[in-house]
Structures are given as C-alpha cells and as structure tokens.
Chain A
Amino acid sequence: MTDPDLLVIGGGPAGIAAAVRAADAGASVMLVEMRPALGGAFHRRPIEGVEPWPIGREGERRWARLDEGLVRTGIVPRLRTAFLGLDGAGAALLEDRVAGRVEACHPRAIILATGALESVRPRPGWHRPGVVTAGGLQVMMKETGRIPEGRILLAGSGPLLIALAGQLTARGRPPVAVVEAADPFTEMVAGLGLLAHPRHLAEAAVHLGRLALARVPWRRATVLEAITPKGDAFEVRLRDRRGRRTTLEVDHVALHDGIRPNDHGLPAANETPGAGPIVVSAGDGREVLGVVAAEIDGERAADRALALIDGRPEATRDHLRRLARERHAQAVLARVFAPARPLDPLETLPDDTVLCRCEGRTVGDLKVLFTGADTPAGREIKLTGRFAMGLCQGRFCAHWVAEASARLGPDAPAPRPRDLTGDRWPARPVPIAALAAVPDAPKR
C-alpha cells in the first residue's frame, strides 16, 4: 500500500467533500468508510439490490454533486474499512474487514469526518433487546428498505424523531406516537428564529404535516419513564407535563436524545507539523451543524490540512461565513428543543437502572463508589466501577456516567467522558487474527 498525502475517514458528506476538494488540489487521497456503502447518516446508500431511500429533491441534488466529484477525481473509496486510530508510533491503523487484515499507513495528514453519535439517555428498560435507537432504525430502513413489523413508538427528544416519524408515515407505517421531552414552539421567539432558516422550517412542516394527516400524536413535554417487557411486546410508562402517568403497549421502541460529535476513541486534532500526522476534523464529527454544513466543513478541513502540510493558501472566509449561518440554525433548533424541565438522571432513575449495557453496571453500582471518604476520579470510576469497559468501549454510557459522577462528587473536578473512554487505539473492537497480520515495520 502506498501512503497517501491525505487519509480521509468517513464517507459521509464531510468526508467526500474533503476528499474531492483535496484531490482537485492535486493531493493523493485515500477515502475509507467502515460501512458497506457511502453516504453517512443522512445520505446512507442502500446495500446492493435495494432501492435508495427518498431524501427529497434538494438532498438528491447534493448527493449527485458529491457522487459526481468522486467520479471526476477518480477516488475509489475503500468500503468496509474502519479506522482504528493512531498508534504510539504515529501509524494510522486501518482494518480491512473484507480481507480480515489490519494495515498500518503513514499519511501526511488525516481528516476525521466520522459524523455524529446518537445520544440515548438511560431509563429503566432502555437496555432490553428490541429497544433500538431512532438512528439505528433509520439506518436499517435506508440500507435494507425494511421497516420492522408491529407498533413502533418513537421517544426522547430532538428533530430527528419527527423526521423519522414523517419518513415512516410516508411509507405507510406511521408510529403509534412521538414522545418528545421538550415543548417545541411554545416559546414564540425561539420558534420565530426558524423563519430565518426556511430549509429547516420547510422540512419540519413537511414531517409535521404528514404526522397530522395520519393522526400520529406528538406528545410534547412528555417523558418516557420506563420500558417493561410484556409478552413479546413492551409496556412503556409515560409522564406528561402535569405529572400524569399513562402506559402504552407497543412492539418496538426507538429512543433518541439528540446527537453529538463522534470523537470516540479518535486522536485529538494536531495542527503542529513534525509532531506526527496532521489531524483535522470535519463535519458533524467536529461540531454538529447538519448535513449542509458537513459538506462545507469538509472543504474547509481539506484546505486546512493541505495548508498545514504544503503551505497551500486557504480560502476560508466564505466557508466560515456559510458555517456561521448553519450554526445559527442549529442554535435555534436547540432552543426550540430545549428540555421542558431540567433532567437530572440521578433524581429520576431507580438504583437498578442499567447505565452500562455491555456489563450491566447500574446507577446503584455507581453510587457505591461515592460513599467513602475518598472521591474517585474519572479513570478510577472506569476501572473500579467497570463503567465504559465493555464491548462498546463506553460509546453508550461514558457520557452519562461522567454526568452522573459530577453530581455524585460535586467537590471533585468533574470527570470528562474521555477520562472514562481513554483515547487509545483500537477505536473499535478488532479481531485478533486481523491485528496479528500487521507486519513488523521496516527498520528506519
């Protein structure tokens, strides 16, 4: 394998835009994507033999442009190839999941365009098999075209819930209800802010219109408190704005509490030439600004990386102006979806609520660590409490464990999720046979 100038991680809009921009500027580029198809969270392409999911005319146009860029520059993405991180010797490790082999590669710069991670708040029963994330459900629909049989409930908070509900409805499978913890559009001022962003407003209007037509209840200022198995189905308990509790019986629960940058286990940014490869992050992996911003940010990141390795000029001003506009839109959305009531996980969760799904560690297990004279720090919480130590490497729980720990030990410095997850490779679990295939480095 010849080492490229630039290694781009992630085949979403940010990664593709970065790769195309750098190739257009004459750099040699390698683009890797761990999933079987390009597209990322929004433009996720179906697996072979499945019809692409409709994403609207504007979305189709954006995708066509990205695709055309790849064709024009001749970049052949390496699919089913996962970036595992940078090792102590500065090598970028790539797991080729087709060949079952890990390779070490030495690019001059790396662009991390790994997108966003979905947040899901722990609640009693959230860890049960059959409870999925809204994003997971969406990926399944986009990749396979399939929607699971039975009654679906969407719950949590954020615009994705309505988007997914709208998509399900358009496919003739409206959800039983959408349960939203926030109370969007009660605050006029926040809502009016969206008028400045007609694209977002129009999208929301389309989805909400579909839900209204299909009479899907949008239960705002309501939280899903607990999920209990009932036969093959689930009974979910809801609490509304007045504290009234109701139950519903459903077959599937899809949870979602917003998205945040996916920097899980990945190397920190490095803009110092000579100190290992340059690392620049882009798109939702840097800052969650949405699909349009991701493309702009990919181009910005490519310019930045090339400026750092070759001193090429950057054309940043226009990029930054357009990003600022998307940032404003996201800020408005965040205000619209601000929680109706502050959510304190420890106040509302019983001690037997599972925090770490991989190892079954609970809220009570965490509280025990804070009972002595000595308040543990982040890494001790991880090691002695066995939080963030399972197969997901803390992807699901580190965030909440850090947040809850800050409340349990208010006098100690608040632990960061990174204190729990660490930032060592491998960023994802990797089969031993694949890793054993890394050859000894040539003597330098």
Chain B
Amino acid sequence: MVIVGAGIVGVSTAYFLKRAGVSVRLVEARAPAAAATGAADGAVSVASKRPGPMMATATAGIRLYRELTAEGVLDGLFFTRSTFLVAVDDAEAEVLATHAAALAASGVSVERLTNERLRALAPSLSADVRAAAEVREEGHAIGYEIVRRLIARAGLAVERGVRVDALVADPRTGRVTGLDTGAGRIEAEAVVIAAGGGSADLLGLSGVLRARRGQLLVTERAPALNAGLPGAIMSARYLLSKASAPGAAPAASARGYGLVIDPLRTGQFLVGGTRENDAARPDTDAEAVAHILRDALRLVPGLASVRLLRTFAGLRTAVVDGLPLVGAVPGRAGLHVATGFEGDGICLGPLMGRSIARLLLGEDPGVDLAPFDPARFREGRAAA
C-alpha cells in the first residue's frame, strides 16, 4: 500500500497500517510535516467545532489522543487542558452563549464562568472580558511532534522529496494500479491520498478543495504572564470567523480575523490568526500581524512588553461545503482519500488515519464517515 503525503493524516494512516502488520510506503514531496501540519496551532479541541458531525468526530478525535497517550504512544506530547471562550462585547457575548449551549447539548463539559471566577482562574486576562465559558477536557498537541513520534514508533522510513505527479489507472476498469512520481513509477495495490493542498490536482477536485491561509505568531518566553492563563483563550470572534456558531454569518472580513491566544508549555505564547481565502503562498504580512496583536492586547494587555520571535503561515485545505473528504473515491477502485480538514486536522488526524486504515483492512472504521463521503461530489450530486 502506498500513502501520499506525510502530514499528520498520512503518517497516522501509515502508523495504524503498520501496527496491523501491513507493509506501507509513505511518499512525500518535501518532508514530514512540511505543509499544514508543521504550521498549525495544536488545539485538540471541540470548543470551536460546529454542532453536528464535526463536533461528534472531534470528540472521538480527542478520545483517541487520550487512548494513545495512555498506551504510551503519545506520551509527553498530548496535554489535557481547558479552552476558555471569551467575549468583549454584546455581539460576541451572544455568540458565546449560543455556542456554549450547543456544546453542552452535545455532551461536552462546558461551564459559564462568573467574572470573579474568571479573574481568579486567568489573572492575565483583561478586565474588558465580560463573558466567558470554560470548555473542559480539551487538549493540545503539536503537529510536527506527533508526526515525528508516529514515524519513529512505526519504524517508517519516509520517502522524502518524492512528488507524485499523477495516478496510474487501468484504462478499462478505472482501477488505480500505481503512481507516477519524480522518482519513477510506483506500483500499488491500494493508494491513499493524504496530500493536503496537493490532493486537488491528483484527484481532479480543484473546484471542491481550496486553500485558506492562516497566519500565526510566536512570542518569547514570558513565564509569569503565561502562568496567568490556564488554557487556550479563544475569542468568540473566532467562532464568527470560522462560522462555527449556528446562524453565524461567514467571516466578516476578507482576512477572516479570529483570535486564539495559546499559552505554550515552554512559557511562550502562540497567537493567531487569519482565515484568508485564495492566498497563494504561506507568508505573513505586517498589516495582518498588527491587527491580530491589537486584538490580543485587548484580551491580554501584559503581552505589550513581550517580544515577538517568529511569524509563520500555513495553508489549510478546506472543502467547499465545510466537511472533510474521507473514504473511497467513487469509480476509482483501490483509491482512498483523506483530506479537507481545514483548521481541525491536528485534532482529527490520528482518528481519520485510523479510520482509513481500518477501511483498507476491511474493518469497521469505528466512526461515522458518511457525512465525509467523497461520493457527495460526484457529478450531478452536491454542487461544487
């Protein structure tokens, strides 16, 4: 079996196949975690998910992280903590209330906090914050660390620098028999495309998949300020930008500014970000960064004197209808796809990798993949 793409999804798929005793090849155009997986915040979180299949799948995704950690596989890489949804004005407070209710309705542990309780829990937060909810039992994991660990655990040797140019198929049956790559042809009985932004070209899905840029910032260590934030701070505006909240309009600005302030375990902060359509390159610009920082200062004023170390950006691969693309590709026997996780692939990656591995092994994937079925984009079905 050949897996294309060594992001968190491809590596997870390879890991679970290897664990089941199947030999796999993992081909990667650049290097593991070279794309979205290496340019993400690591929220393993349900707090921002839209009610419905995404919320349910994210909950299962967090559960798998917990299991893998208990087994020792992700020991020291996954940490449980809360996410704090916060609002600074009426519009945000309204979104926050609706969203917290939706989370509670789907069984997530969430609690509205009084101002006193919030100040006690999170002294680094500004007094401007007027409403907050704590979403419990969430977690954080860094994409590139998960990838590196799974590669080591499975004893995989990633075939780096091998770009897949095209699928090779039997002209009569449509069955996929291999791949044409920069390093020659590779024969394959089964192929999994987990190529993130490279998937569209391989599958002919350019109308279905699109890139959404996110810009992120990392500060120097500021241990005292960091200790005053017990978990990720997510502005209710982020829900608006992500259009997660029921009834929320799509991102108000072209930049899709949202705000998450993540206190990292190193004492640093990761601050993001944007959700920009049709950005060709993963680069950052001062206008967006300054905008994000002004929003961040409003929530955590103590950041003013902290220095910014790095800025970086990644391209999220999004599906036009907002749901991922996971499963067998219709009309192409031997071909599976797992991509389109947009801003949720760190949380969902291991679970989706395991699901695809199980499908390939002829087992029950263990999660409901029906909403993510690629067949929905077959000609004449959903509008692309």
Contacts and interface: CB of A to CB of B under 8 A. Distances in A.
Interface stretch (A309-317, A336-344, A425-433): A425-433
B290 A436 contact: yes
A117 interface: no
A374 B151 contact: yes
Nearest to A371: B152
A393 B283 CA distance: 18
Interface of B: 31-34, 38, 144-145, 148, 151-152, 155-158, 160, 219-220, 281, 283-287, 289-291, 293-294, 296-297, 303-313
16 contacts: A88-B313, A89-B286, A104-B287, A374-B151, A374-B157, A383-B33, A391-B307, A424-B283, A424-B312, A425-B311, A429-B309, A430-B307, A431-B307, A439-B287, A440-B291, A441-B287
Nearest to B160: A377
B34, B158, B297 interface centre (most CB from chain A within 10 Å): B158
Contacts of B285: 87-89, 91
A391 B220 contact: yes
B306 A432 contact: yes
A411 B75 CA distance: 30
Given A372-B151, A424-B310, A432 B158 contact: no
A424 B220 contact: no
A429 B307 contact: yes
A436 B299 CA distance: 14
Interface string A233-264: 00000000000000000000000000000000
A380 B31 contact: yes
Interface in A407-444: 412, 422, 424-426, 429-433, 435-441
A424 B289 CA distance: 13
B38 to A, nearest CB: 6
A102 B293 CA distance: 13
A93 interface: yes
Contacts of A439: 287, 290
A88 B309 contact: no
A99 interface: no
A163 to B, nearest CB: 34
A379 interface: yes
Contacts of A431: 304-308
A73 B315 CA distance: 47
Contacts of A186: none
Contact of B284 (A379, A383, A393, A424): A424
A384 interface: yes
B215 to A, nearest CB: 9
A432 B155 contact: no
A240 to B, nearest CB: 41
Contacts of B289: 87, 435, 438
Given A102-B286, A435-B286, A435-B290, 10 more contacts: A88-B313, A89-B285, A89-B287, A373-B157, A380-B33, A429-B307, A431-B307, A432-B296, A432-B304, A438-B289
Ordered nearest first, which 3 A-B pairs have the shortest CB separation?
Answer: A88-B283, A438-B290, A429-B307
B286 A436 contact: no
Nearest to A386: B266
Contacts of B308: 426, 429-432, 435
B291 to A, nearest CB: 7
A89 B220 CA distance: 24
Contacts of B296: 432
B311 A426 contact: yes
B26 to A, nearest CB: 10
Contacts of B160: 377, 412
A242 B287 CA distance: 60
Given A393-B310, A433-B305, A379 B38 contact: yes
A86 B294 CA distance: 21
B317 to A, nearest CB: 20
A415 to B, nearest CB: 10
B304 A380 contact: no
B286 A91 contact: yes
Nearest to B282: A88
Contacts of B290: 102, 435-440
A422 B308 CA distance: 15
A391 B155 CA distance: 34
A265 to B, nearest CB: 10
A106 B343 CA distance: 33
Contact of A380 (B148, B294, B312): B148
B297 A433 contact: yes
Nearest to B268: A389
Interface in A45-68: none
Contacts of A88: 281, 283-285, 313
Contact of A377 (B31, B294, B304): B31
Nearest to A102: B286
A93 B151 CA distance: 39
A384 B77 CA distance: 11
A93 B286 contact: yes
Interface string A63-92: 000000000000000000000000111010
Contacts of B156: 373-374
Contacts of A380: 31-33, 144, 148
A393, A425, A441 interface centre (most CB from chain B within 10 Å): A425
